[in-house]
Structure 1
Amino acid sequence: MSQKIKHVLTVACLIPYVLFAFYLTSDLSWGEQVISDPVKEYGILGSIVLYVIRCMLLLPLMMSACNLFGISYFNSHPKKPVLRSSLMFGPFLCFRVVTRGTYPELVKQNVQRNIETCFKLGLANFVFEVATDRHVGMKKSSQVREIVVPDKYRTKNGTLYKARALQYCLEEEVNILSDNDWIIHLDEETLVTENCLIGIINFINDGQYEFGQGVITYANEEIVNWITTMADFIRVALDYGLQRFSLGFLHRPLFSWKGSFNVSNAGAERHVTFDFGKEGSIAEDCYFAMMAWKEGYKFGWVEGEMWEKSTFTVLDYIKQRKRWYQGINLVLRSKRIPTQLKGGIGLLMLCWTMMPITPMFCVILIHYPLPNSVLFAFLFSLMAGTMLFLFFFGMLKSYPLRGRKLIGLFFVLVLLFIPQITAVLETIPVIWSIFSAQKDFHVVSKEMKSSRGIHIV
């Protein structure tokens, strides 16, 4: 079956999800009670409140449309990337890993594995830089450079945590890269693949954009926590939808970007810097993207995928999201970022913040129905169906099901419940954030011993 046919069939799967969503949400549009005059029934103020609630339920519509466009416009089953130029005269690549040094064996194991992947492809012009708060004991070689960030190091603006380490790497006395070199940012648990390396090289050689990003999947090799892994199906779908639309079509980080699988021109990164102060220290990736956009840099899409694993525990999942929520909120409130650039992340935060009260809004509209609206029924069903479809799509891209019929059936059944579970897991950080301040930079557990060695997240 060709990639185009797979793509068409995948997008066609959206239709039953929209119909299913229409059935589930029919009471919001076609309630049993027929109300022809809401002003007479509820009064002017009551009618206004109910119509405002109905409109607020459609706030995620733009994000659903962007996701749908990204998945349908671009081939959702692309062919394996092929090198379009020789590796002999390729760019110099610096794979930069930032760690606190808490998991030295994990870092050493993953760096070595990533180096082997680079060699397997035929890369030679690269280095892995490990920026760490503590010495991790990296084996010295021409492909590895360990950078220990001194305790006494302070940036001009008092930047903290990961952004502080990233800024240290850009200092004149530390940096070894020219402005024409390229930096690929990885988390300490990130694994590169041959496909993503090919995508990175092609992206750089195209010479159109200073920054780029690709897909990260979370269900590769051994799965440590099934709940968090399936909850992360939506992240994979958002990469193919929302991010590919904003970076691959608009060439702007409209909805921010992730902190790993970032491809950056070294000169452009040094110009933007990571010295954002405290307000840019929690969600440094989001802040950096907004500042780069402000400076006029263009963003592109990188083919291929990198591998990570979801958090080991539900609590770590919640704490991770809490940090993201509070960090992006700081970015949104920053006076250094122009208001006109905050529309995407503002909508993102508004939809996220509304999650705890959305069920209450639905209950209100069911018990206090408004006149039937074909437009509302269509838009709401399309929006809800798209969100349900994204979990299915994320599953397809995360976990190949060929030859695994029982696993496939299991996933299909579980997908009936995972969206609800994920909604709860995404709602808790919002409530927690409202009643508590972000006091530190929470790092999720990434190592656990077993009879087979180290699990990687």
Structure 2
Amino acid sequence: MASQRIQERIEEFWRQYTLERSQAVRVSRGMFLVFVFSALLFTWMTFTTRKPWSPLTEAKYLWDVFLPVTLLSAWGLTVKEDKLGRRVQSGGYTVIFQVVTRGVNKEAVLRSVSSVLYWAPKYLRNFQVWVVTEEDADRDFFDSLEARVLYVPRDYSTPMGSRFKTRALHYASRVRVEEGLNRRDVWVYFMDEESVVGEDTVLGIISFVEDQDREVGQGVITYPNFWGRNLLVSYQDSLRVGDDMSRFRLQAKLGKVYLGHHGSHLLVRADVEGKVGWDFGSVRAEDAVFGGSVTAEGYRWGFLQGFLYEQSPFTLQDFLRQRRRWVWGKLDLMRRVRTSRKLKLIHVLDLSLWLLSLPSEVLAILNLVYPTPMPGLIPSLISSFSFATVLYLYWLGHNVNATLAGSKWFPSALLNIALVPVLGGMEALSAWYGLLTYRRSWRIGFEIIRK
């Protein structure tokens, strides 16, 4: 069997993702305060009123534009973390674990399916595993999986002309509608091909369905799989985890998602998915459009406890391709006629801040080479708060990923913080890379990175 041959050479690291390991990492509000107060105290003690005019001095107001984002992050860090316990499914509902793949990264797909088959039967009485792929995929491999495989027909098209992953997602949702599975007692848990579930993932799904009166849930995605394969990329993805544990947790707790969400670690009641669908036309930010549509329909979001375990890109080239695809998706969304003005505005602001991170980074480097005063005490304190908050998010995300990967985190965390100027430059350049290549993006299509 094709899957058995691959199974022999894959590492079953999902077995280590137990409830205890997931609960070993928490937000430390005390450490966050240490970061913030240290930065503010240093700024207060070193601030000088001597301000010979310099364009670099006035340019430092740029650092303060990031304050709204860092305030939201700080607010999110204050949100109480609920305790997750072991329990067996008690209701009559069904959970469908759905993996969407182009069919290229077969080892990743097998890891994903195998992790579900290892953890789900321990606690769920009614569950299914669906794999959605293209008609030309390797049928010997996919037919050997212990899952229901949907092959999207080559000639399948949607009314809005959706392409790539959006097309596959919509096809699967229509299959559920045709089979009468778009019901209130059916839940769809969305995974990417590299997603791996742990014990806490399954327990979080049960807790959400049985304890929360919400229709859609999103949670924290971590990146411990193959952690450190490319140290710079793993370190930069620390910020993604910190962002999930602050801003993303906040908006999920508030019940509405405006700041974007992930396409994986997403739990949706099937009747909601059936009504909203995934037919959004030629847009590569299908998750953002889906989230905006769900919110516009008045459905309520909740926070999905437990982590989903994924991996960072293996190379800097794949890192740039991944980020470029995200930028293309945002630009697709902005150009899409049927997108609400509110959602467009949010993504315009989000992309603008991402693009502004490059001149902000350049300004910081220039300030190291040619130090100039801040334009005032208040702007200086604001930028110090923002900088300290971002540093803590790196610190938090690094500790989560390293702990889950079973690695000693403290020395590595110090290196992660020391490399933030380099990591920030990587992220900033990737945004401009995406912007400047957008005109030819449809010739490139939907890029798939190695996983």
Q: What TM-score results when the alignment is normalised by the length of structure 2?
A: 0.83
CA RMSD, Structure 1 to Structure 2 (Å): 3.1
1:135/1:148 contact within 8 Å kept: no
C-alpha offsets along residues 158-202 of structure 1, whole Å, 9 cap, x if unaligned? 111000000111225875323221100001111111211111112
C-alpha offsets along residues 287-322 of structure 1, whole Å, 9 cap, x if unaligned? 211121222221110111111111111110111011
Which 5+ residue runs of structure 2 have no aligned equivalent? 1-21
Query: Is 1:275 matched with 2:279?
Result: yes
Between the two proteins, the alignment pairs up a number of residues equal to 419
**In structure 2, the residue corresponding to 1:100 is in which secondary structure?**
coil
C-alpha offsets along residues 52-85 of structure 1, whole Å, 9 cap, x if unaligned? x44432122111111111112323xx534343xx
Q: Which residue number in structure 2 is paired with residue 68 of structure 1?
A: 74
Change in 2 beyond 3 A, CA 1:368/1:236? closer
Q: Which of 393, 405, 411 matches 1:390?
A: 393
Which residue identity does 2:105 align to in structure 1?
Answer: Y
Distance 1:140 1:403 in 2: 32
Which residue identity does 1:130 align to in structure 2?
Answer: V
Q: Which residue number in structure 1 is paired with residue 113 of structure 2?
A: 111
Change in 2 beyond 3 A, CA 1:324/1:266? same
Q: Which residue number in structure 2 is paired with residue 408 of structure 1?
A: 409
Alignment of 1:378-457 (within 5 A): 378-400=381-403, 407-437=408-438, 438-439=441-442, 440-446=445-451
Query: Is 1:151 matched with 2:154?
Result: yes
Deviation larger for 105-114 or 346-355: 105-114
Which 5+ residue runs of structure 1 have no aligned equivalent? 36-40, 447-457
Change in 2 beyond 3 A, CA 1:378/1:184? same
Deviation larger for 391-400 or 86-95: 86-95
Change in 2 beyond 3 A, CA 1:337/1:25? farther
Which of the pair is proportionally richer in helix? 2
Which residue identity does 1:355 align to in structure 2?
Answer: S
**In structure 1, the residue corresponding to 2:78 is in which secondary structure?**
helix
Distance 1:378 1:81 in 2: 41
Q: Which residue number in structure 1 is paired with residue 317 of structure 2?
A: 315
2:399/2:413 contact within 8 Å kept: no
C-alpha offsets along residues 300-355 of structure 1, whole Å, 9 cap, x if unaligned? 10111111111111110111011101212222343322223445433321210101
Change in 2 beyond 3 A, CA 1:62/1:408? same
Change in 2 beyond 3 A, CA 1:320/1:79? same
Q: Which of 252, 256, 260 matches 2:256?
A: 252
Q: Which residue number in structure 2 is paired with residue 299 of structure 1?
A: 301
Shift of 1:369: 4.8
Alignment of 1:76-115 (within 5 A): 79-83=83-87, 87-115=89-117
Change in 2 beyond 3 A, CA 1:127/1:403? closer
Q: Which residue number in structure 1 is paired with residue 18 of structure 2?
A: none
Q: Which residue number in structure 2 is paired with residue 120 of structure 1?
A: 122
Change in 2 beyond 3 A, CA 1:369/1:262? same
**In structure 2, the residue corresponding to 1:301 is in which secondary structure?**
strand
Change in 2 beyond 3 A, CA 1:397/1:148? same
Distance 1:345 1:246 in 2: 15
Alignment of 1:6-405 (within 5 A): 10-19=28-37, 21-22=39-40, 30=47, 33-34=50-51, 53-75=59-81, 79-83=83-87, 87-121=89-123, 123-133=124-134, 134-136=137-139, 137-139=141-143, 144-172=147-175, 175-176=178-179, 177-180=181-184, 181-220=186-225, 223-248=228-253, 250-278=254-282, 280=283, 282-362=284-364, 363=366, 369=373, 371-373=375-377, 375-400=378-403
Change in 2 beyond 3 A, CA 1:174/1:100? farther
2:242/2:397 contact within 8 Å kept: yes
Shift of 1:140: 6.6
C-alpha offsets along residues 100-152 of structure 1, whole Å, 9 cap, x if unaligned? 1113343234313311211123x2311111110124433578x6210000111
Change in 2 beyond 3 A, CA 1:334/1:364? farther
Change in 2 beyond 3 A, CA 1:388/1:158? same
Deviation larger for 103-112 or 305-314: 103-112
1:223/1:309 contact within 8 Å kept: no
Q: Percent identity?
A: 26
C-alpha offsets along residues 84-109 of structure 1, whole Å, 9 cap, x if unaligned? xx524341111111111113343234
Distance 2:227 2:374 in 1: 50
